[in-house]
Amino acid sequence: MGFEFNIIGKDTSSFARLGKMVTAHGEINTPTFMPVGTQGTVKSLSPEEIKKCGSQIILANTYHLYLRPGHETIKNLGGLHRFMNWPHPILTDSGGFQVYSLSPLRKIHPEGVMFSSHIDGSKHFLTPQMAIEVQQALGSDIMMCLDDCTPYPATHDQTKKSLELTLDWAKLSRESKNSAHQALFGIIQGGVYPDLRRKSMEETVKLGFDGYALGGLSVGEPKEIMREIAKTITPELPAEKPRYLMGVGTPEDIVFAVSCGTDMFDCVIPTRSARHGLLFTNEEKIVIKNARWRDSDIPLDETCDCYTCKNFSRAYLRHLFVAGEILAMILNTIHNVRYYTRLMERIREAIKENCFTQFKNEFLINKGGT
């Protein structure tokens, strides 16, 4: 089955849109959020729990799976869906961002990037062609082109060179792809410079991909810059293709970016925060280890329908967290992932009802964000 994307609704007071993506492993309603399953598992959740949380698609990290257990191993075991028992859509990143953020040594060459493994220090050379080969072995539904993630800060000149390399690699990625049922997205770089973002966008779109991602954000730049780029670039991307804002973000950032026309998000925030005992609710962010919850018999969020909120008190969750119990990680992650999928459901509902701007304004005011 080929990849499809259809816009099925639009908000008239913003760029927000409602879409349906069709992949080889199922449909996805957009805007959507992808929990991060770095090593072939969304940390603390079984695939059954991920599905119960309402997630439609997860992200897996090519860099990690290439290093361990190895893409050939996974291929021989029937591909990533079967390996991790997640028969639903998977997007794999290209490894570019992880090489940038995790490798203790990284050297960029025109042909690819030399890096050392964060696990054992072994040296590897990743080319755009290899990134496709690895993702084809994993069998993900959506692949990403290898990109050179421009650091922040970087000069205009550095950024320009970096985006040109990303463009070269995008071309090579496109040419080396030979699997019909996997989609391939291009990544737009250009750092914090509007002219370079535009150039990157135009050239990437010229190459032609199944979808387009904004990369190189959430790398340390001020939030305002990220939002400004999302606001400027997103609406200009081809309307008929899915748009993906990589590595974003907080609930507020997501709501903002949806208003700019973004369809897809991924971020470690819900899962990582959960493991650190920071829990999202419609009222406030809860630091579960706080002594004020010691005797609290209420659920995290009265309005939430997740297993955690339906069955456990804040006092119990605090106890588990303070006692260092694994169940704390499990229950907290269930809640935060469900919070994110419910947020996306609310976003889709607001677009459908054509009241997204009102939803956004209320949401951002309540959260105190802008």
By the criterion CB under 8 A, which residues form the site for its own copies? 39-41, 43-48, 68-69, 73, 76-78, 83-85, 294-295, 297, 307, 311-313, 315-316, 318-320, 322-323, 325-327, 329-331
* Phi, psi torsion values for 242, nearest 5 degrees: -65, 145
Rounded least distance, CB 64 to its own copies, Å: 8
Rounded least distance, CB 86 to its own copies, Å: 10
Q: Assess contact for 258 and 347: CB atoms under 8 A.
A: yes
Tell me, what DSSP letter sits at residue 306? S
**Burial class for 157, CB neighbours closer than 10 Å (0-12, 13-18, 19+):** exposed
User: For residues 287 and 124, what is the distance between their CA atoms, to the nearest angstrom?
Assistant: 40
Annotated active-site residue in 11, 93, 147, 301: 93
Output 130 or 274, the one with its CB closest to its own copies. 274
Rounded least distance, CB 83 to its own copies, Å: 6
Catalytic annotation present for 93? yes
CB neighbours (10 Å) of residue 279? 26
In the block, tokens 């509902």 appear at: 349
Rounded least distance, CB 311 to its own copies, Å: 5
Output 237 or 274, the one with its CB closest to its own copies. 274
Rounded least distance, CB 79 to its own copies, Å: 12
Distances in whole angstroms, Cα of residue 333 to Cα of each of 119, 293, 316, 340, 345: 25, 18, 15, 11, 18
Output 295 or 362, the one with its CB closest to its own copies. 295
Output 73 or 158, the one with its CB closest to its own copies. 73
**Burial class for 39, CB neighbours closer than 10 Å (0-12, 13-18, 19+):** middle
- Residue 11, token pair as written in the block: 């908000």
Output 64 or 197, the one with its CB closest to its own copies. 64
Output 1 or 77, the one with its CB closest to its own copies. 77
Annotated active-site residue in 147, 253, 266, 301: 266
> Which residues touch 90 (CB under 8 Å, ≥6 apart)?
25, 37, 57, 58, 59, 60, 80, 81, 138, 140, 141, 142
Angle between helices 314-322 and 326-352 (to 10 degrees): 130
Rounded least distance, CB 38 to its own copies, Å: 9
In the block, tokens 């957009």 appear at: 30
- Residue 212, token pair as written in the block: 């387009």
Return the active site residues.
Answer: 93, 266
